[in-house]
Amino acid sequence: MTDLRYITFALCVIVCTVFTPIFLVEQRRGFSRKSLLYKMICATCYLAGGFIAMSSIEEPGAYTKLMLAGLCLSWAGDLLLHIDGRFKTPCIITGGLCFLSAHVAFICAYSAASGGAFLSPGGWVAVIGIVVIYTMFMLLGIKIPVSKLLVPMIVYGSVLSLMLVKAAFLSAELISDGTVAGGVLLVSGALLFFLSDASIGVLMLSKKHKTNFPLKIFNIVTYFAGQLMLASTLFVIK
């Protein structure tokens, strides 16, 4: 049975790998029902992967439930952010909130796996450092104009940075305890998710990079790869 779960998860990875470039090609032509379909096929792969991995656990704990909640919220965010037309603006706002909530769920999952511990003083210094570097990069490097979006960008960046640092600390704990695969998958998935969200900020807020297709490829590939890695941790982290 366990072997079958791994095989099914591998099939999810293969399907996502096949449809990711198809989605990118279709989306380059503009928003359409086809591009939405291809995107949601990929999104459903990481969500299905999470449930497949969860099925290997007899009694799912807080980490498993919170990780699945984060994956479900991400799936909803994928759907909402791709809707075009008259409801585009409210869908974008709601989709952004879904992803913000997903990161909060992941942070809570990492805390649960750490025995309830939140973050050390050194961790908070790392979070602040990442937020400052990202904000300066956006304002000075990408030259994002200071606007009413600055505060939401800092808030989202803070939650995203906290998610990454929490994952790194938990990963170090897991590796030191001998759960090397879980630690590597966790920190790799969190880092890829962080890079994906950082790049989408550039795509959405910079007029110069709005149509940067190589950056779009980077954004999508890191996103789906990161989500699949996070989903796979449910095989090894209880």
Nearest to 148 by CA among 205, 211, 82: 205
pLDDT of 15 above 60 = yes
- Return left, alpha or beta for 20; rule: phi > 0 is left, psi -120 to 50 is alpha, else beta: alpha
| Domain span holding position 121 | 2-235
Domain count, the chain: 1
- Does this model's pTM top 0.85? My answer is yes
Q: Which two tokens stand for residue 187?
A: 């920190």
pLDDT, tens only, 72-127: 999 999 999 888 767 788 888 899 899 999 999 999 999 999 877 677 778 888 88
Identify the band that residue 166 occupies on the pLDDT scale cut at 50, 70 and 90: very high
pLDDT of residue 155: 87
Total H helices, total E strands in the chain: 8, 0
Q: How many CB atoms lie within 10 A of CB 117?
A: 15
Euclidean distance between CA atoms 211 and 161, whole angstroms = 26
Nearest to 74 by CA among 51, 95, 50, 91: 95
Q: Considering only residues 177 and 139, tell me which one the structure prediction assigns the higher pLDDT.
A: 177
pLDDT of residue 52: 95
Residues 43 and 96: beta-carbon distance below 8 Å: no
pLDDT of 1 above 70 = no
The highest-confidence range among 42-46, 152-156, 170-174, by mean pLDDT, is 42-46
